[in-house]
Chain A
Amino acid sequence: MSELLTSPAQALGGARFDGLVCVEEAPLQGMITLRGDFASPGFANVVSSAAATDMPGQREVRGTQDKALMWMSPDELALLCPYAEAAPMAAKLADMLAGSHALVANVSDARAHFLLKGPGLRDVIAKLAPVDMAPGAMPPGTLRRTRFAQVAAGIWMQDDATAQIFCFRSVAQYMFDLLSTAAAPESAVGHF
């Protein structure tokens, strides 16, 4: 999908679907990919002070939508911040990490984010992703990278009735269609 935009815009203009859960494209979200050695105090200090939170543990998210650190893999974090702050923040982080073995990339424009709201969201996600969505296995504050049908995606369980789902921006329409189909009002499962 090629796009020529004069100002930053959401991939789907804030599309929304109301069904078993409310599926809504999130407002523009800043996201910075960070890779480095978590055990190195230099990296951990710089990153956690930029996000104003502790380093997340395995598969954890620390912070709020405005400023959060997501554990993506043993050597990768994602920093969430307001969209407008992402570019200057990435430049500042790259500067502070210069000289150490680390990577900083502003991926805000390469991702699409969706918010799922409603008590049925565990059922909706379980239809699409090969993930154990039981509350014990996916408690609030957990991040899970997986696939939704044919595309890669991440799930952040914010609380029991809210999840943020992010994927590549190029598959935003596919993801929205998937989520809307799985949330179709007549398709309740009621497992969780």
Chain B
Amino acid sequence: MLILDCPYCGVSAEETELSAGGEAHVTREGPGSADDAFESYLFMRENPQGVHFERWRHSHGCGKWFHAARCTRTLEVFGTYSAQTTEPPQGIRDAISQKRPGWSWRDLA
């Protein structure tokens, strides 16, 4: 079972109290963007076995969106962080590097 700490209300929320919001840090390509960029925004997603970044919503709690970094293989959670960011904060990256040296995800490492 997945348990994530909501960074907004401080609750350790169990999976059924949350709604999954898909992959994190996807750039929303709008009108006028290149076809390739728009296609990858619509269709291309990571499907890693290991470190992954996701969006979650505390839907049965405070209602806020947040980000989570976790391992898809072990369900280990490296940390959760604010939704108001376009990339994982350094603290989260350091926490992952400590436990999964040499990790990479998209263009992050």
Q: Which residues of A contact B16 (CB under 8 A)?
A: 130, 147
- A-contacting residues, B1-42, CB 8 Å: 8-14, 16-17
* A144 touching B11, Cβ below 8 Å: yes
Complex Cα–Cα for A76 and B13 (A): 19
Q: Tell me whether A74 is interfacial, beta carbon within 8 Å.
A: yes
CA distance A72 to B64 in the complex (A): 11
Residue from the set A144, A145, A147 with the largest chain B CB neighbour count within 10 Å: A145
User: Residues of B with Cβ closer than 8 Å to A?
Assistant: 8-14, 16-17, 60-64
Q: Which residues on the B side are within 8 Å of A147 (C-beta)?
A: 16-17, 60
Residue of B nearest to A73 (CB): B62
Assembly CA distance A79 to B60 (angstroms):
20
Q: What chain A residues lie within 8 Å of B12 (beta carbons)?
A: 132
Known pairs A130-B17, A147-B17; A58 contacts B9 (CB<8 A):
yes
Contact of B9 among A74, A130, A152 (CB under 8 A): A74
Q: Are B11 and A59 in contact (CB under 8 A)?
A: yes
Among the listed A74, A132, A146, A152, which residue makes an inter-chain contact with B8, where contact means beta carbons less than 8 Å apart? A74
- Chain A residues with Cβ below 8 Å from B13 are 130
Q: A128-166 interface mask toward B, CB cutoff 8 Å, 1 = contact, 0 = none?
A: 001010000000000011110000100000000000000
- The residues of A that contact B60 with a CB separation of less than 8 Å are 145-147, 152
Closest 8 CB pairs of A and B: A73-B62, A130-B14, A147-B60, A145-B61, A74-B8, A152-B60, A130-B17, A58-B10
Report the minimum CB–CB distance from A131 to chain B (whole Å). Answer: 8
Docked Cα-Cα span, A53 to B14, in Å, equals: 32
CB contacts (< 8 Å) of A145 on chain B: these are: 9, 60-62
Q: Is the CB of B9 within 8 A of A59?
A: yes
Q: With the chains together, A41 CA to B86 CA distance in Å?
A: 30
> A137's closest neighbor in chain B, by CB?
B12
Q: How far is the CB of B5 from chain A (nearest CB, A)?
A: 12
On chain B, the residues within 8 Å of A152 by CB distance are 60
